[in-house]
Amino acid sequence: MIKVLFQNYIQKERPINHESNWLPAPEGDFNLLLMLYQPAAKILNSTYEIPPIKRVR
């Protein structure tokens, strides 16, 4: 099994030294949408657990 770990920065301000992992977000509350193309069996049979989103200040 291969485990891939990554960090994305979802925020309004551009993060210093992490621009390649930055997803611009509006000020205030917003919703995230996970789109899966050609999902694996674990997704289709609901046994895959989507990693939680961690809020960091």
pLDDT of residue 32: 87
Residue type for position 9: Y
Domain boundaries, the chain: 1-57
- pLDDT for position 3: 65
Q: Which distant-in-sequence residues (6+ apart) come within 8 Å of 28 by Cβ?
A: none
pLDDT tens readout for residues 2-44? 666 778 889 999 989 888 889 999 998 889 888 889 889 999 9
Q: What's the CA gap between 36 and 18, in Å, rounded?
A: 24
Distance of CA 23 to the CA centre of its chain: 9
Q: Could you tell me which of 57, 44, 50 has the C-alpha nearest to residue 11?
A: 57
> Which of 53, 13, 18 is CA-nearest to residue 33?
53
Rounded to two decimals, the pTM is 0.61
